[in-house]
Amino acid sequence: LLILLGAFAPAIAALSVTAWQEGRPGTRALLGRILIGQVPGRYYAFALFYLITIKLTAALLLWMVIGARPRFSLPALLLSPIAIALSLPIQAGEEIGWRGYALPRLAERLGLAQASLVLGVIWAAWHLPQFYITEADTYQQSFVVWSLQVVAMSVAFAWLFARTGGSLLLVMLLHAAINNTKDIVPSGLASPGGVFSLHASAVSWVTLLLMWGCAAYLLRQLRRSPPVQSGG
């Protein structure tokens, strides 16, 4: 129940504040971003393949450089299209809040590049309780390494949001794809070192480096992008 509440709380908060400050027109405009889907196909490809491309590249680099063969989950690969489709609507619970409400307002003050980094820190901190839930796959894994990955991912989310005219549909798709392709190349440790340790798998560390390489490139583009206006 707490996990479900956490998944939808950002949207509930964003819609509540928007309704209070801007009334029904503002709420309709915010929800209307979910319907922005007429964008070039390359942005759909980015949303679907961003993380799996990074994870497969990390696995290939480890195999080529040190001869390690990271685990590969064929069931996760085969099930990912169905899982992405089924989980897509659920991502509105976070994305209405993070990208729909918070990012445009932060960007008006800080610019898109800096706003994406600040929001990434907030977004990562929001998930900290999951690292203490025994049933979660993040239980006692390195929150430090994971949160650094999330900040880099936040840059990719902001770039996609800006390039698609503020489409929540595209960032929801990116969110769903990340959640449901991350275990094609699993990176969790069977014996984790603790929430605030730096003990993480080689796949996690190489993934982190690749994510920040991508983020550095996207940050340069975000610095030249005008902020997406809040509202519709």
What are 123-182's pLDDT values in tens digits?
999 999 999 998 888 999 999 999 999 999 999 999 999 999 999 999 999 999 999 999
Query: Which of 111-125, 168-182, 215-229 has the least mean pLDDT?
Result: 215-229
Q: What is the pLDDT of residue 35?
A: 96
SS3 (DSSP) at 178: helix
Separation of first and last alpha carbons in the chain: 32
d(C-alpha 228, C-alpha 169), whole Å? 15
Q: What is the pLDDT of residue 231?
A: 58
Q: Using one digit for the tens of pLDDT, what is the confidence trace for 194-215? A: 999 999 999 999 999 999 999 9
Q: Using one digit for the tens of pLDDT, what is the confidence trace for 29-72? A: 999 999 999 999 999 999 999 999 999 999 999 999 999 889 99
Q: What is the DSSP letter of 42?
A: H
Q: Using one digit for the tens of pLDDT, what is the confidence trace for 66-103? A: 998 899 999 999 999 999 999 999 999 999 999 999 99
Burial 76-97 (b: 16+ CB within 10 A, else e): beeebeebbeeebebbbbbbbb
